[in-house]
Structure 1
Amino acid sequence: MGEEDIKIRKVENSAARQATFSKRRRSLFKKAHELAVLCDVPVGLVVFSESRKLYEYSSSSTVRDIFSKYDEHPKAEKHFGTTDVARPETEISEGSNLIRNLRGEDIEDIEAIVQSGHCREYELMEQITQLQAKVKNLSEENKQLKHEIGGLNSQKMVEGIQRMEDDESFDVSLRLGYV
């Protein structure tokens, strides 16, 4: 019972693609850790998600130190063509900015995002309050209309009874069920 070979191609469904990315990323990091432990070598791994989120693994020091060793190595360009292919500067700078944000070094940006979220929340709360007041006013108006309709119905009943009483040929006791 051998495992079937999986055809490697892009996963079209975005939810399935995200799940596949998460599982395979974990497996890749696990393999990197195993390589570092079993062979006692420094391993650095950087992965960017489709949404440009940075994931990194370093077995010894930091990923930046490992990439510095890579840049200093005389044969580095022969393996990947250029260092830019192996490590695009824009992705590294974006990853560094993300790390700074997570560490709280660029807290002003985060505070601005939170503040904008609070503004939206405040606007929604205001709308809810206005709608609740509208519901209360409509309920009161509904009660008032029901009361007026009830009064009109009672008045029509009284008028009908008076007409019957005025009509001498009509026996009220039969109509009201007294006999």
Structure 2
Amino acid sequence: MGRGKIEIKRIENSTSRQVTFSKRRGGLLKKAHELAVLCDAQVALIIFSNTGKLFEYASTSMKEILDRYRKYPDGIQTGRVMEYDNDVMVQHWSREVMRMKQQIERSYQTQRHMMGEDLGLLPLKELQHLEQQLDTGLNRVRARKDQVLREQIDSLRIKELQWHEENEILRRKIAGAHGMTEVAVRSFSSQNIVNPLETREPPSIGQVSVPFSLHVNQKNLRENQNLQTSLQLG
């Protein structure tokens, strides 16, 4: 003899109601799992008992399934055939197009207000708010401009130090190549040092070798002659 048909209505006895809830909850969770495995479907099941206790099941991630559900177009979430009607889809996308147009128009209007245009219909409160926004934006622009200027100045200072170091290296190379005295090298450096902020290239050894070499040799010769004369007189 088969089981009789059970009338679906609220169970008045609290103990029987709790037992039935536990049994049917387990069966429902089992069926949800079977549906997900057999049909490769994304299944999410949320149950709250009459005492407020939460029971849930998700075939993948509950958050991902709920996010997908929220992003689904309005009017076709329950899976009924009538909700797949083209008219429903047309209405949905028509509302989306209208919403985007309104958002674009508000953006254009805000841009015109920021440029000081179409201000005739704005009340005093909105004008004050717009003024605060402009002041805030202007302060940010000035702060960014000052930061860029400081960065450029720091970069120029670094380049200046690099040019000074290169001039010092060049000065020592010239001194070593021509046997110059330290006094002569300093005199030459003060007359021929390159401004680090100029774009011209520093003088090469070939450009200063001939005249400077003759000048230094003649000076050294005169110093040697004066030294010999002093020794003879002494």
Greater Rg, structure 1 or structure 2?
A: 2
TM-score, normalising length: structure 2: 0.32
TM-score (norm 1): 0.41
